[in-house]
Every structure is written in structure tokens, then in C-alpha cells.
Structure 1
Amino acid sequence: MSETSRNYIDGEWVAASTGETIAVRNPAEPDEIVAEYQQSGVTDAVEAVEAAAAAQTDWADTPGPERGRILREAATTLGRRKEALTDRLIAEEGKARPEAAGEVQRAIDIFHYFGSKAADLGGTRKASSGRDVNLYTREEPVGVAALITPWNYPIAIPAWKLAPALAAGNAAVLKPASLAPGVALAVTEALDEAGLPDGVLNVVTGPGSVLGDELVEHDAVDAVSFTGSSSVGEAVYRQATAAGKRVQTELGGKNPTVVTASADPAEAAEIVAGGGFGTTGQSCTACSRAIVHEDVTDDFVDELVSRAESIDVGPGGDHEMGPQVSAAELESTLEYVDVAVDEGATLVAGGGVPDGDAVETGHFVEPTVFTDVSSDMRIAQEEVFGPVIAVIEVTDFEEAIDVANGVDYGLSASVVTDDHTEANRFVDEIEAGVVKINEKTTGVELHVPFGGVKRSSSETWREQGDEGLEFYTIERTVYDNY
């Protein structure tokens, strides 16, 4: 029998006004219901926003060090529960155990980091042009933040939105993705136990199509932070800006790794495979395009195919690569495989559903590699969100940059090279918010900015690090003539 979890509104765990729930199933065993969550309605969203608005002023008046203490205590609690959180993440989202454990640890680290940063918030003192005047700034919270998060990093992304929002003195309403909300509610439990005042954090589960309008447009909401697909995020951005909100969106990607003539093919294949097949390709920063110099293409493809075929696919608890999160995601990936074949790409690895008892019932797909891909094919232009890598052969570095930049997205990009000049040119010329040299496209540090360009971001505020706090704060300038 699965458990039934409730919404968290004004410090209470409550059922949705609809009386309905959502069953979340294990993507490795779709017949297994992991848990049931509230299918909230507009009334629940309104109650959550109103509770946040009522609690925000007192929370803003709470000294920063005290706010930080609560965040750090919650982080410690999450640390004690890391194994259980890892198991829940695997059961709901499907990640392989090392990936799931790493994501949980990232959330823990984020709360420790922003818990410490809360004590540094305050403002700056400046010299005045006149005598007997104190001139300084004050950093103050924006107000109420609506946070809408995706299923692919179901604890890390809520953490990197919640922690800076709360550290800066904002109240928040969080709507986690319906496919994997359990670990976000576990974060909520930890904050509640750490002493977060009632109403400062409110969590409602349910479909964005029902809850989104209220969270984005309610008069009491001051800021909206969204992570998800580009099409939905762009609609959220238009809607929120029209309502006068401060908006931050982090969206899709079509991330390239450029492999130059100086690169070692085996090293390059390891980097590309890690970026493209890790997290079952279900990452906005996943590498889906390998743009390879013709001199090393054959050796690179051999190495990449070998790695793809060696990956152990199965339930995330004890296999190297887990399932896709849902039947719909699996179907979408397989459709892209068919499209690529129809457009003339050559399938050299994977492309289907794996065989074996361990993968008989789940949403599993083989790590997939295509060659003979041209940059105008759909598989080279559109986000697949599965473990599919398109190899595009180029004749020189200039062509590689043109191909890499020839998409609507610009989130993460990497280059594999032993030529320092090429590395510096790549940094100068690539159109991406995250640029890596001799590293995979996935994986980011929590204390530096994260975000993209073009359709990968609203290009407003970045997340994480000091810049992550900027979105949730506004400066007041004070002239004190004494």
C-alpha cells in the first residue's frame, strides 16, 4: 500500500480542496505505485499564496543569521536522511543510485551554502558627497516568490530556488513536478522541523495547467522562478511579465561538445558519453551533439559506440543507467530515433528498448548514437531529453563553432582539445551560458552562476551563487543626514 502525502500550507499538512490525488509510479516498475500526492486546485494555490503573503513581513524582519541557522539545521536533517531520500528519488524519478545520491548531496550542500550566506546580507556603505551624511544601501527581500520546478532534478532544483529565496527573507510557494514530488516534500519536512515559521514556505502538488495561472498572476506574488521546457517557460515569462512580476526562467538545451583534431578520441568519447548518457540523458545540460573533426571522427565513433554498448541499463537502484521517467518520455525518445532514421542519419548504437528480465516492464531505452547527421536535421536541432547523441562531422574549427551555435538554444557547451588557442577561441565564440574545456556538459558548481542564453533562458537573473541571491533581493538606498 502506498502512502498519501499532503500539501503544506501555513504550517499544516492538508488535503487538497478537490479531494483528488495523483498516483506516482516507479518508472522501472510502472505497476508499482510509490506514493499518492494531492491533485490541488485553484483554491489550494490561492490559500498557499495568501499564507505566504501573511507570513513574509515577519520572516523578512527575522535577522539573517537566524534565517541561516534554520536553513543549516534543515540541511543537517537532510544529511541524516540521505539514504532514504536517495531511495525515494530512485523510486520516483529513476536515476541510477550514484546520480541520485549525488543530487541529494547537492541539495544538502545548497542549504548549507545559502544558510551561511544569509548572515552576509545587509548592504553596503558608500562615501557621501556632503558632510554629516551616512550613505548606504539595504538589501531587502522581493516579497513572495512562486517557484515551479521540474521532475528531472526533483530535489536539487527546488533546493537551489528555495534556499536563496528563504535566506533573503522571502516567503515562497513551491509547486514541484507531479512525476516526482516526494523529495521536495521531504525538504519541506526538514525545514518545518528546523523551525521555519508557519506560512513562510507553502507547497502544493498538482498539474501546472491548473495551478500555474494563479501562481504566476496572483497580486500577492512578487517574483516567479520557473525551470522546465522552453515552450512552457516562454509562456510563463510572457504571462508573468504582463502581470508585472520579476521573472527568472531556466529552460531547455541542445548542448554540443566540440571534438577538435588535437583531441584524444578515447578521452573525448568518455567525456561525451558521460554528458550524453548520464542521468539517462534527462538533463537540460546533457550533451546531445558531438561535433567532431573529420580527422578523428572514425576513432571517436568507435570509442563512443563501445561505451554506449557497455552501459548496464536497468532499475536505478543497482544499474548504471536507469529508465526514462515516464511512458510519454520514452515514447518521445523513440519517436526521435525514427525521425532521425527517416531523415537519413545512420544508427550505429542502440535506438530501441533493451532486452532482459530486469528491463522487461520499465520505461527503459538503449544508449543511442547516430552518425551521418547534418546540422539541419531535427535530431540536431530539437531537444530530445533522452540518451541520444548525434555525431556531426566537420572539416575545421570554424565550421565546428558555426554548427555548435546554429541552434535556438545556448545552455551548456564543451570542447575537447589539446590546443590552448582553440580552447580560448571556444570560450570567446561559443553561444552558451556555461562553457567547459575538456569536461562534460553536465554538472555545475553551486557557488557560481548558472543559466543560458537564447531559448535556454529568460536572460534576466542567474541561479546559484551570489547571483542566485540577487533575484530574490532588491536594494534600497538610504541618505541619513545627521
Structure 2
Amino acid sequence: MTTQVQVKTYLNYINGEWAACSANKVDKSINPANKNEIVGYVQSSSKEDLDAAVAAAKEAQKAWRKLSGAARGDYLYKVANIIESRLDDIAEAMTREMGKTFPESKGETARGVAILRYFAGEGMRKIGDVIPSTDNEALMFTTRVPLGVVGVISPWNFPVAIPIWKMAPALIYGNTVVLKPAQETAVTAAKVIECFAEAGLPAGVVNLVTGPGSVIGQGIIEHPDINGITFTGSNAVGKRVGQGALARGAKYQLEMGGKNPIIIANDADLDLAVDGTISGGLRSTGQKCTATSRVFVQADIYEEFKEKLLAKVKELKIGNGMQGETWMGPCASENQLNTVLSYIQKGKEEGATLLYGGERPAENGTEDGFYVQPALFEDVTNDMIIAQEEIFGPVLALITFDAIEEALQMANDVEFGLSASIYTKDIGSMLSFINEMEAGLVRVNAETAGVELQAPFGGMKQSSSHSREQGQAAIEFFTSIKTVFVKA
């Protein structure tokens, strides 16, 4: 006799209370490593639920903004400690819901803890400057004031780090928050919000509403009482967010796609470059906005680099992210898998040569998951679809070049400008890359993926709305400057 495990239903969190949505409707969150496993049920909310959350946030903001930065920081420290104590539980939910490996999930959750502690400390930093006045009997200075209610729309690929790096600065600077996570990872989001609830934040300061983007996401865009919207996701949706926010005068922040290049010069440490290419391009199954996608290799080292890369990629273990030997898990959903497979097919049709992978794996235990082998293409030209459009999967396009100037020109010849890296020992090549690369994040002798939490993060061109997240730069979006003139 087998015992059936009870699958939990996760609720919305509105005005300090956990509650089912008004429509009494739920969606199931499934494990991409095994489509037959239900991770949990999450609310499929309506605009009525969003309205309740926004009303709660608007009311709570009146008192929250009056707390000192230090007092708000104390709450964030408490949340950080609670998440740290539940790190394995949250990380396991992330792996089961999104597919990335358990070590990656633990690392991301730990990063969320560090972000909270960083922004807790920001509550004690200055928020203005004294400015000389032409009137010698007057005092003139600036201060910063919160926007009010901030709508957070977060993606499925970093279901802990991204919501936290949006929520933490919003909260420390006196805003209240309504979070709409991706429905695919709403269980993980609920577990994070449980930590905020346990920390005792006043009712309405943080609210969670799960549901379809067409209802809850669109509702956040249009809601007259949401003063700022911070979004990470696709370019198509991001543009709708920006247009909708602009139409009603709300502040908005968009972080969107990337088509990130890595340049391997002929003087590079090839073993280091191979490791950086694999880690940057294939970890998290390539589902990072900063993931390496185009690999530009100087012609006279191309064959050697290719052989080293192939040898290492062939060693990668694909499987369930909860299994210790797994290096790469599944795509996060069936839709994402089909998208990746369609791009691999387009690459073949365009005349690129598939060196390795790109198929559904045949290993035992992968038949019920959304798995795909890493795909390596060569004979790629920079005008091919696989070299121009974001795939968001484990697909690497190898392109040769003769001179660094040529590589930079091709690297810049896309609509995106999020991250880029170069492997070289030549200071001239480094400086050319730093000065000429059209990307918000450039890295030398390091992979394209990742940014430290204390540093500004954002892209150029179509990769962002040109604002920056994280670090001290976060204050620019989540506050407005108020200039004060005082005369006795």
C-alpha cells in the first residue's frame, strides 16, 4: 500500500493575512524534472485580490514611511535571519519548481540573505546633501522620499534573488510592496514571503498576489495607486509594462533580455576561458539574462578551444537537480523546452553546424522531464537568428574572428546590451573591450553571468530602461528627490 503525499495549497498574503483568492481557483506548479510531480497549488487570483493588496499597501505606507531607516533595517535583518534558517527548504522548493541544481538554489537563497543584510544597512546611510544657497540666511538641502506603493513583477529563473533585490531597497527607502511572482515559481515566492510575515512586518507592508500575468501583471501596470513598477522578464512584456506605466505617469524600471558575447583572444588562458564559457552559458540550463550565448574565438586558436570545450561539455551530467551528481537540470517548463528546441532547429535550417547535443537526452529518469542536451553550433554567422535572438537555453554559437576590432563590432551588432566578457592577457585588448563594448556589465577574464550585489546592475540598448538595480544605485529608482529651502 502506497501512502499519498498531501500536496500543499499556498495562499495569497494580503494585509498581514494568508487568504485564498476571491475566485477560489488554483493552478498547479509542477516539477520540470518530472512533469507528473505536483510541487504545490497556488492561487489564480483576480483583479479583486490585487485591488485588496494595493489598498492594504497604500494604507500601510503612511506609517511605514515614518519609521526611521534603522527601524526598517531591523525588519530586513530579521527576514534575512529567518530565510537563512530555512535555506535548505526554500532551495529545495526552488529546485523542484524551477529545475536548477540544489547547490545553485542554495547559492541563490544565500544571496537573497546577503542582499537583505546589505539593504538593511542602507537604512543608516545619508539620503541627501546640503546645497549652498545664494541667500546667506537660508538653508537649502535635498532629501529623498519614497515613491509609495511599488509593484514588483518578477520572473521564474531567479525566484528568490530577483524579488528580494527589488523588494529590499523598496522597503528600506519607505515604500510598501505588492509582489506578483511568475506563476511557475509561486511556491518558492510564497515560502520567501512566509519569512517576511514571520519577521513581523506591519500588515500591508508586503503583499503577495499570485495569478496570470494577463490579469495580475496587467492590473499592476494599470493600477492608479501603484506609484512605481519594477519588472524583470522578456522584452515583449517589458515594453508593455513601460508603455502602460508611462501612459498614467508611474515610474518604471525594466530589466529584460540579453544576447551576451564572450570574446576569446589568442593569448587567453584557454582552460579558464572554456570553464567561463561553460559556466556562463550552461549553468541554470542557460536560463539567465546574463548567460553567454555567442562565443567569439580568434581564428588561430579556434580548433584548440573548440576541442577543449567539446570535451568538457560532453562530461556534463544532465538530470534532476536534487541529485548530487547533476550538473545541469531541465528547462523550467515545457514551453521553454519547446522554445529552445525550435531555436536549435532554426540554427540547423540556417546552415549552422550542430557540433554536439541539442536533442532530448535518453538517460534513465529524464523521460518525464523537460530536458535538452547542451547544444554547440559552429559555422555561425552573426546575422543568423541563433546569433541575434535571445534563446534562454543551453545553446552556444561559436563564431570566429581575426582581429579584436572585428570581434567587438560583431559583439555589438545586436539589439541587446546586458553583459559581455573577454578572455585576454593583453592590456590594450582589455581597454578596447571596456571602452567600446555596448553593455551595462563588462567582465575581463570572468564569465558573462552574474554581478555582485553591491554593484549596479542593468543593461544598455534593448536590455533595460537604462535604470540600474542593486547596490547604492537602487535608491535612484525607489525614491524621488525633494529639494528643501528653509529661511527663518
Structure 2-normalised TM-score?
A: 0.97
- 1:344 paired to 2:351: yes
1:199-218 equivalences under 5 Å are: 199-218=204-223
- Write the distance in 2 (CA, Å) between the matches of 1:265 and 1:300: 6
Q: Deviations over 1:322-346 (max 9, x none)?
A: 1111111111111111110111111
**Secondary structure, counterpart of 2:170 in structure 1:** helix
8 Å CA contact 1:255–1:411 kept in 2: the answer is yes
- 1:373 paired to 2:380: yes
In structure 2, stretches of 5+ residues that fail to align are: 1-5
- Write the distance in 2 (CA, Å) between the matches of 1:331 and 1:180: 19
**Secondary structure, counterpart of 1:456 in structure 2:** coil
- 1:478 paired to 2:484: yes
- Give the match for residue 326 of structure 1: 333
- Give the match for residue 69 of structure 1: 74
8 Å CA contact 1:121–1:139 kept in 2: the answer is no
- Write the distance in 2 (CA, Å) between the matches of 1:2 and 1:210: 25
- Give the match for residue 430 of structure 1: 437
Aligned residues, how many?
Answer: 481
1:41-60 equivalences under 5 Å are: 41-60=46-65
- Write the distance in 2 (CA, Å) between the matches of 1:462 and 1:121: 19
- Write the distance in 2 (CA, Å) between the matches of 1:131 and 1:347: 73
- Give the match for residue 172 of structure 1: 177
What is the identity, as a one-letter code, of the residue corresponding to 1:462? R
**2:462 equivalent among 442, 455, 466:** 455
Q: Deviations over 1:91-119 (max 9, x none)?
A: 10111122111100110001001011012
- Write the distance in 2 (CA, Å) between the matches of 1:180 and 1:394: 40
8 Å CA contact 1:70–1:195 kept in 2: the answer is yes
What is the identity, as a one-letter code, of the residue corresponding to 2:444? I
- Give the match for residue 136 of structure 2: 131
8 Å CA contact 1:263–1:417 kept in 2: the answer is yes
1:26-425 equivalences under 5 Å are: 26-318=31-323, 319-425=326-432
What is the identity, as a one-letter code, of the residue corresponding to 1:436? R
Of 369-378 and 469-478, more deviation after overlay is shown by 469-478
In structure 1, stretches of 5+ residues that fail to align are: none
- Give the RMSD, CA atoms, in angstroms: 1.0
What is the identity, as a one-letter code, of the residue corresponding to 1:252? G
Q: CA offset at residue 257 of structure 1?
A: 0.1
**Secondary structure, counterpart of 1:202 in structure 2:** strand
Q: CA offset at residue 478 of structure 1?
A: 1.3
Identity of aligned residues (%): 42
- Write the distance in 1 (CA, Å) between the matches of 2:193 and 2:216: 19
- 1:10 paired to 2:15: yes
Of 258-267 and 104-113, more deviation after overlay is shown by 258-267
8 Å CA contact 2:99–2:320 kept in 1: the answer is yes
8 Å CA contact 2:97–2:188 kept in 1: the answer is no
8 Å CA contact 2:29–2:187 kept in 1: the answer is no
8 Å CA contact 1:139–1:476 kept in 2: the answer is yes
- Write the distance in 2 (CA, Å) between the matches of 1:165 and 1:438: 33
Q: Deviations over 1:139-160 (max 9, x none)?
A: 1101111110000000000000
Q: CA offset at residue 173 of structure 1?
A: 0.7
Q: Deviations over 1:121-146 (max 9, x none)?
A: 53222333323322221211011111
